[in-house]
Amino acid sequence: MNWNEFERIFHGCELVGNKIVIQSNLLGVIEFVLKEYPYDMLKEIIATDKGDEGVELTYHLYSVDDEEDLFISITVKDEIESVTGIFKSAEADENEIYDLFGIKFIGNENLKRLYMPEDWEGHPLRKDYKEDDKRLEWNDKQS
Amino acid sequence: MNYLYFLYIEFLQKHGIPKLFGDITFYVIPFCIIFGALLVVILALVLAERKLLGFFTQRKGPNRVGYWGLLQTLADAFKLLCKENITPARVDRFLFNLAPILVFIPVMAAVGIIPYSAEFTFMNTQTNVILYLILAAFPILSVFLAGWASSNKYSLFGAARSISQVLSYELPITFVLLSVVVLASSMNMTGITMAQFSKWGMFGWFVFPCILGFIIMFISILAELNRCPFDLPEAESELVCGYNTEYSGMRFALFYLSEYAMLFANSMFMAILFFGGYLSPFGKYLSNILFGETPFASVLLYFEQAGWLFFKASLLIFVIIWIRATLPRLAAFDLLKFSWVVLLPLSIINLFIVVIYKFILGGLA
Amino acid sequence: MTSSLRLNLGPQHPSTHGVLRLLLELDGEKILSCEPDVGYLHRGMEKMAEKMSYIQYLPLVDRIDYLAGFFYSELLCGVVENALEVELPDKVRAIRVMLLELNRISSHLLWIGAFLMDLGAVSPFFYAFREREKILRYFEKLTGQRMMYNYFVFGGVRKDIEYLEDVEEILSILPEKLDDYEKIITENPIFLMRTRGKGILEAETALNYAITGVNLRASGVDYDYRHNDPLYKGFDFRAVVMDGKDSWTRYKARVLEIKESMNIIHQALVYLKEAGKLEQKLINPLNLKLPEGDYIQEIEAPRGLACCYVKSTGEDKPYRLKWRTGSYYSVNLLRELLKGEYLNDAIAIAGSLDIILPEVDK
């Protein structure tokens, strides 16, 4: 990849191994990468809660022809544009992250609480999540 | 039947009971006999099916209750009797309760008109082949009632599938039946049986001139019985349990048992149409061979004839169960297509073949 | 006026293999839209990992996919071994590969039985279970467990391999039995009618929906992670790639994959019979701390590519652990694949994707 040109277009990005860390404009970066390289599969989106910085989303791209992985990482506070327009598999990942991390994906209409009940308070995989839902107390009383 | 009838009336008159009473009760008694016999047969059939399926899949089948699992179905029936009859809140109560009762009545009547032997024909009418056909299609109405009254989407789908399936398979059956009627020149099941009599035994059977018809009939009967590979109405993997999803306890048992009763009745029907009914396949009866022309032999003959009919029917049932163990299920649309595109034209062709055959045979004779 | 019917397929439905719930919108029996709803078996595997040390977590990961438990323990072991840069001895690799492939066979066998059950054939289910039972018996003899093996540990295996003659027996009977299955299933006209040309999954769609494993290879894409996996180094095998794209091809590909797995097992078996005593350097699991950093490990599981991502901050617990499982993406694919199909085909198509719910819900 022509890294210099890439850096010129998208400011403030850095390359660590095969991981590109970007600050903003996720869709632009992915579209730019796809134009040059045949990454045809979004294997997964990994979300990691980084405390006050926000949630780091790592997009794990894969090219079947080149057998090559690429990670694009972006840190967001609470919302980000959805990539379902490019990779349909993101529907599944984004839904999971919405449920467990509380990140909203703009443009994904199928977002819902996937594992947790509809009216569950908090998002369990966030580091500041406190297990204080009333239903948990009820569970304790039963035992 | 006349012989038995006169014996009965004579017996009553000896004890001073009026003839009217005898006229009425004469038809009640055989009905009770049929009912009792049918229950035993159904229980045996259920066990046989499970044992055979176990055999085909290299399992033992039921073997805990009673010797060799003989009492298993009895225990199951008892369990179903003890279970609570659940009527879901949103169902149409009247129809929901009516359906399982209605399903059994035509089955009983259908079993009643079958000629078991030269004497054991409880209700004999001139055109009882047609009557049987109507009665055999009747349970589908209660299936539809059950599916509709359950207010359950799976039940509704099951019932709708049942109706469309039976409707499309009824026509080939009718055409095949017509060809048998042409061969026998009779619309009476006893007449059809007797028409297959020949001194070479089994070579007079209609299965030989009408082999195509038999295959069509067999397939269509499978479909009408909702047996595999046409068991779509109760396709477990799609519709949970089909039309009887909401039924429990004895009501479920009635549906379940009526299916087996219908299986038994239809197998006998096929045996009558194509395999000479109660006729012996050797042309001569065993009881005559063993005991000569004695009165004892002539009584035993009736039972032997019934035995032959049962034997032929159970062979057919064995094949049906075998098919169930082998084949996957058809898809709903392939099923209907198969009937309208393949079976119906073939059955009409079969009718033509049989008519020509009969014409040539008649011309020669 | 026509209106559509909403049908709630599952979660307690006989053919959804667990607790998948599909909200179908039907017009007659035609499916207008399908909305999968998962989460009835959610156990919080990822949250649990953050509260446990690695060795405490190891027995749990078998339960992510109870039909292919070895694959997930291998993943977690692989992450730890990679992070600590431990090289596995050849014998350990051979043992692991042999057990993984046996596990893959047992998983595929179960799928064949369950798939045919979905289509309404009773017998293949029992036939497949008969052979699977032999494999499970062997696992039980070796590890003491039939499903949750907990046999792989960090840096090796819990104990030396035993009862190799059982594996030999499995290898000797399986080809014959597979031929039997093919006789009763593969060319059966009704089976062909139900599966040929049904549930067509184009290669682009499959890639776009991140479908991996057999389902992807049956659509003609040659992607088998085992070829890049250092664990499989030295084993000679070919990925089963077929170009039929339909349910039937997915079935056939699985049958062929069983044969390919048998080939791999055979190679491992030949090596293991010659190999001497097991010599392995186990990682001390007590006070095990991974150096700071991100670790990712992938494996070709029976139901598609599985990944394990671990972010460590140098503590004895992972800061974040994420699983990627194949079935999860297959469930998402149902939305697209079932649209416009009929209800009874829908079951066959969903079945052909080999979805298993514990893997989806994690």
Instruction: From chain C, pick out residues whose CB is under 8 angstroms from the CB of B158.
Output: none
CA distance B139 to B257: 12
Q: Are C275 and C269 in contact (CB under 8 A)?
A: no
Contacts of residues A51-59 at CB distance under 8 Å and 24 or more positions apart, as own/partner, are A51/A127, A51/A128, A54/A78, A55/A97, A55/A101, A55/A103, A55/A126, A57/A97, A57/A103, A58/A19, A59/A26, A59/A30, A59/A83
The reply to whether C130 touches chain B by the CB within 8 Å rule is yes
User: Using the beta-carbon criterion (under 8 Å), do A87 and C328 form an inter-chain contact?
Assistant: no
Average the pLDDT over each of B156-165, B295-304, C93-102 and give the range with the smallest value: B295-304
Greater pLDDT, A24 or B172 = B172
Mean pLDDT calculated for residue range B349-358: 87
Q: Containing H/E element for B191?
A: helix B189-195
Nearest CA distance, C220 vs chain A (angstrom):
12
Q: Please list, in sequence order, all residues whose beta carbon lies within 8 angstroms of the beta carbon of residue C351, skipping any fewer than 6 positions away.
A: B237, C15, C17, C114, C115, C118, C119
- Tell me which of A58-62, B87-91, B284-288, C297-301 is least confident: B284-288
Q: Is B68 left (phi over 0), alpha (psi -120 to 50) or beta?
A: left
- Asked if A109 and A126 count as a contact pair (C-beta separation under 8 A), the reply is no
Among B58, B228, B236, whose Cβ lies nearest the Cβ of C126? Answer: B58
pLDDT of res. B115: 83
Question: Using CA of residue A100, residue A101, residue A102, residue A106, what is the dihedral sign?
Answer: negative
Query: Has residue C78 got a pLDDT over 50?
Result: yes
Q: Is the pLDDT of residue B201 over 80?
A: no
| Range C304-323 average pLDDT | 88
Question: Which among C44, C207, C319 has the least Cβ separation from residue A41?
Answer: C207
From the list C245, C132, C120, C214, the residue with the least C-alpha distance to C178 is: C132
Q: Which residue in the set A48, A116, A124 is minimally distant from C311, CB to CB?
A: A48
* pLDDT score of A1 more than 70: no
Query: By three-state DSSP, how is residue B74 classified?
Result: helix
pLDDT of residue B1: 53
Q: Which chains touch B (3 or more CB pairs under 8 A)?
A: C
Closest CA to C320 of A97, A130, A78, A126: A126
What is the 8-class DSSP label of residue A63? E
Q: Domain C42-326+345-361 is of which CATH architecture? A: Orthogonal Bundle (1.10)
Nearest to C208 among A44, A47, A88 (CB): A88
Is the pLDDT assigned to residue B47 strictly greater than 70?
A: yes
Q: Is the peptide bond before B229 cis (omega within 30 degrees of 0)?
A: yes
For residue B340, give the DSSP letter: I
Instruction: Decide: helix, strand or coil at residue B205.
Output: coil
Please judge whether C190 and B53 are an interchain contact, meaning their C-beta atoms are less than 8 angstroms apart. no
> What mean pLDDT, rounded, does chain B reach?
82
Check CB contact under 8 Å for A46 and C221. no
Residue B2's pLDDT is 64
Flag whether residue C355 sits within 8 Å of chain B, measured between CB atoms. no
pLDDT digits (tens, 9 = 90+) for C79-110: 888 888 888 888 888 888 999 999 999 999 99
Whether the predicted pLDDT of C227 surpasses 80: yes
- Residue with the larger pLDDT of the pair B229 and C208: C208
pLDDT at B144 over 80: yes
ipTM of the complex: 0.83
Q: Can you tell me the mean pLDDT for C255-269?
A: 89
Q: Is the pLDDT of residue B93 over 60?
A: yes
More confident residue, B235 or C37: C37
User: A49: distance to nearest CA of chain C, Å?
Assistant: 8
Question: Could you give phi then psi for residue B245, rounded to 5 degrees?
Answer: -55, -40
Residue B85 near residue B251 (C-beta atoms within 8 A)? yes
* Phi and psi at residue B76, to the nearest 5°: -65, -45
| Calpha distance A133→C263 (Å, rounded) | 52
Q: Is B53 helix (H, G, I), strand (E, B) or coil?
A: helix
β-bridge pairing C21-27 and C5-9: antiparallel
Whole-number Å distance between alpha carbons of C133 and C140: 10
pLDDT for B94-118, tens place per residue? 888 888 888 888 888 888 888 887 7
Residue range A102-115, pLDDT digits in tens: 888 888 888 888 88
pLDDT value for C15: 66
CB-based contact B321:B45 (threshold 8 Å)? no
- Give me chain A's average pLDDT, please: 81
Q: Cβ contacts (< 8 Å) between C130 and chain B: which residues?
A: 58
Average pLDDT over residues C275-280: 80
Distance in angstroms (rounded) separating the CA atoms of residues C106 and C101: 9
**For residue A83, what is the nearest residue in chain C, using CA coordinates?**
C208
Residue C1 reports pLDDT greater than 50: no
Contacts of C361 in chain A (CB under 8 A): 115
Q: Which CATH fold topology does A3-142 show?
A: Beta Polymerase; domain 2 (3.30.460)
- Find where tokens 């134009």 sit: A35
* Count of residues in chain C: 362
- Report the pLDDT value the prediction gives residue C130, as an integer from 0 to 100: 87
C341 touches chain B (CB under 8 A): no
Poorest-confidence range of B209-223, B284-298, C34-48, C188-202? B284-298
* Chain position carrying tokens 């049918």: B38
Can you give chain C as a three-state secondary structure string?
Answer: CCCCEEEEECCCCCCCCCCCEEEEEEECCEEEEEEEECCCCCCCHHHHHCCCCHHHHHHHHHHHCCCCHHHHHHHHHHHHHHHCCCCCCHHHHHHHHHHHHHHHHHHHHHHHHHHHHHCCCCHHHHHHHHHHHHHHHHHHHHHCCCCCCCCEECCEECCCCCCHHHHHHHHHHHHHHHHHHHHHHHCCHHHHHHHCCCCCCCHHHHHHCCCCCHHHHCCCCCCCHHHCCHHHCCCCCCCCCCCCCCHHHHHHHHHHHHHHHHHHHHHHHHHHHHCCCCCCCCCCCCCCCCCCEEEEEEEEECCEEEEEEEEECCCCCCCEEEEECHHHHHHHHHHHHCCCCEHHHHHHHHHHCCCCHHHHHC
- What pLDDT digit, counting tens, does each position of B206-245 carry? 888 888 888 998 988 888 887 777 777 666 666 777 777 7
Confidence band, pLDDT 50/70/90 cuts, at residue A30: confident
Torsion, CA B73, CA B76, CA B82, CA B87, rounded to 10:
-110
Domain boundary assignment for chain C: 42-326+345-361
* Statement: residue B363 has pLDDT above 70: no
Average pLDDT on A116-129 reads: 82
Residue in B105, B76, B31, B34 with CA at minimum distance from that of residue B268: B34
Which of B58, B324, B328 is facing C119, going by the closest CB pair?
B328
- Show Cβ contacts of residue C115 under 8 Å, excluding neighbours closer than 6 positions: C251, C348, C351, C352, C354
Is the Cβ–Cβ distance between B253 and B77 less than 8 Å? yes
Spell out the domain ranges in chain A. Answer: 3-142
